[in-house]
Amino acid sequence: MIQFLLLFSRQGKLRLQKWYVATEEKQKKKLSRELINVVLQRKPKMCSFLEWKDMKIVYKRYASLYFCCAVESTDNELLILEIIHRYVELLDKYFGSVCELDIIFNFEKAYFILDEFILGGEVQETSKKNVLKAVSAQDVMQEDEAVTSALEEFGLV
């Protein structure tokens, strides 16, 4: 089971965080700061895994963003890499060749996609199509609502 997931930039700026295990706010900050430092110090030739505290860290860099998962020591790290990759693919499909800026300005969307892919630290949907379908259906619901409320506001309906 995934313990937590961090997205951060090469400069160490946090772009997204998801904690699947209840952790105190202070501890979250401490752990993420430490882990970001550890990962950023790794050289490009090193493998994507490291043993850290009592967890296994699986990370991968996509352009300027690091995707970093902390998992239990019994988890299959190669599959975690696949999960990370799948998430990147989903982001890419959703935003259309995603870049860091997309995630910065639409971080809530990045969370929505993640929440349709993983729940409570486990994969809930293995079909890309289904994940994106669920996300965009909800986007449509939001848009409809926005239209209705805008029209209502100006007394058009």
Partner 1 sequence: METLQNIRTQIQDVMQNAIKLPMTPIRLRDLIRQVRAARTAADERAVVNKECADIRANFREEDVTWRCRNVAKLLYIHMLGYPAHFGQLECLKLVASHRFTDKRIGYLGAMLLLDEQTEVHLLITNCIKNDLNNTNQYIAGLALCALGEICSAEMCRDLVGEIEKLLKSSNSYLRKKAALCAVRMIQKVPSLMDQFMPVTRSLLAEKNHAVQITGMVLMRQMCEMNTETLGSFRKLVPNIVRTFRALIMAGYNPDHDVSGISDPFLQVKMLDLLTVLGRNDAEASDMMNDILAQVATNTDGSKNVGGAVLYETVLAIMDIKSESGLRVLAVNILGRFLMNQDRNIRYVALNTLLKTVQIDNMAVQRHRSTVLECLKDPDVSIRKRAMELSFALVNATNVKAMAKELLAFLETADNEFKAPCSSNLFITCERYAPNRRWQIDTMIKALNLSGNYVSDHVVANIIQLIGEYAEEQAYAVRELFQCVQDPNFDTKQPLVQVACWSLGEFGDLLLSAGPSSFGGEDHQQQQPMNISEHSVVDALENIIKNKHSWVSTREYALNAVMKLSTRFTEMTSRIEQILAPLTANVSIEIQQRAVEYSSLFERPQQFRYGILERMPIVKRGTAADSTFMNGEEGLTVPHADDTDDLLGYHGDKRDGTSKPRAPKHSDSLLGILDDMSILASDTPVIHENGHAHQGSSAGGGMTDLLDLLDMNPASSVPKARPAAPANTSATSAMADFDFLNGNTSNTPVSAGTTFTAFEKNGLRIDFTVNGSPESLDVTINAWNFSPEEMSDFVFQAAVPKVLQLQLFPPSSSTIPAHGLSPVVQQMKIANPSHTPVKLRLRIFYKTSLQTVQEQAEVSNFPSPTSKLF
CA distance 123 to 120: 8
CA distance 128 to 4: 21
Among 38, 40, 49, 92, binds partner 1 (CB under 8 A): 49
- For partner 1, the binding residues in 64-103 under the rule CB under 8 A are 76-79, 81-83, 85-86
- CB-based contacts of 40, cutoff 8 Å, min separation 6: 10, 12, 66
CA distance 24 to 7: 19
Nearer to partner 1, 63 or 140 (CB): 140
Nearest distance from C-beta of residue 9 to partner 1, angstroms: 12
CB 38 within 8 A of CB 30: no
Nearest distance from C-beta of residue 60 to partner 1, angstroms: 9
- Classify 114 as helix, strand or coil: helix
62 touches partner 1 (CB under 8 A) = no
**Contact code string over 104-143 relative to partner 1, x by CB under 8 A:** xx-xx--xx--x---xx-xxxxxxxxx---x--xxx-xxx
CA distance 11 to 136: 31
Among 24, 41, 54, 155, binds partner 1 (CB under 8 A): 24
* Number of chain residues interacting with partner 1 (CB under 8 A): 58
Nearer to partner 1, 63 or 137 (CB): 137
CA distance 80 to 94: 21
Query: Residue 128 phi/psi, 5° resolution?
Result: -60, -45
CA distance 157 to 152: 5
Interaction site with partner 1 (CB under 8 A): 14-17, 19-20, 22-25, 29, 45-50, 76-79, 81-83, 85-86, 104-105, 107-108, 111-112, 115, 119-120, 122-130, 134, 137-139, 141-143, 145-147, 149-150, 153-154
